[in-house]
Amino acid sequence: DQQVKQNSPSLSVQEGRISILNCDYTNSMFDYFLWYKKYPAEGPTFLISISSIKDKNEDGRFTVFLNKSAKHLSLHIVPSQPGDSAVYFCAATLGSGNTGKLIFGQGTTLQVKP
Amino acid sequence: DAGVIQSPRHEVTEMGQEVTLRCKPISGHDYLFWYRQTMMRGLELLIYFNNNVPIDDSGMPEDRFSAKMPNASFSTLKIQPSEPRDSAVYFCASSLREGAPDTQYFGPGTRLTVL
């Protein structure tokens, strides 16, 4: 049972344009969401997060949007750069009494073309 | 700090053989996590430790999988006997404190191929 789903295995965008990566979840108890970025032959690294009490969090070129009613979050990258080409994982966890246990999606491979 | 260290980086073995993956967490971190990455399921948490004690092993797929953390600086994930469906990338991660999911630091992973 996949509680966190990334339905698009891959995405290709032109440099300078917006990249939008999507993620859906099923567990309404999740109250903290994260995006991780992974380059080949490296481990995932934390990118940006959002608490369920917010609907938007921005960090430079990266913005995460959360729609709790739809159980959907998205990551926007503007403008996209070739160095953003990587696999992006969304993850969710339970905040209160959190043990640090993350539930990850399958990942979306982003390719930014020069 | 050197970050989380995993060895070997690549492992190719034959079905039925024992496989041992190793992890050295970041010094001072008291949580250690083992994940498995596959195309179909993404990153799955297998087991995690707090202060060397296993807390949640509900993600361990079968009795063929076992994990230990004999001290604060070393953990192993063992598969015995290995099967082709165990082929995946296995990640170890560590973190400093509870309640801070964005502080998990991942190692580079071990790519396991079981023939």
B10 residue type, one letter: H
Q: What residue of B is the nearest CA neighbor of A35? A: B102
Q: How much is the pLDDT for B40?
A: 81
- The minimal CB distance from B42 to the residues A42, A89, A101 is found for A89
Spans in chain A with pLDDT lower than 70: 1, 95-100
Give the amino acid at A96: S
Q: Which residues of B touch A99 (CB under 8 A)?
A: 48, 50, 55-56, 98
In chain B, the largest separation of any two C-alpha atoms, in whole Å, equals: 40
pLDDT of residue A97: 47
A18: closest CA of chain B, how far (Å)? 24
DSSP classification of residue B67: E
As a whole number, mean pLDDT of residues B90-109 equals 83
Residue pair B61/B45 in contact by the 8 Å Cβ criterion:
no
Closest CA to A48 of A25, A23, A71, A69: A23
How far is Cα B115 from Cα B96, in angstroms, rounded to an integer? 37
B94, β-bridge pairs: B32, B105
pLDDT at B41: 81
Mean predicted confidence (pLDDT) in B65-93: 96
Over residues B11-28, the mean pLDDT reads 96
Q: B111 and B97 in contact (C-beta within 8 Å)?
A: no
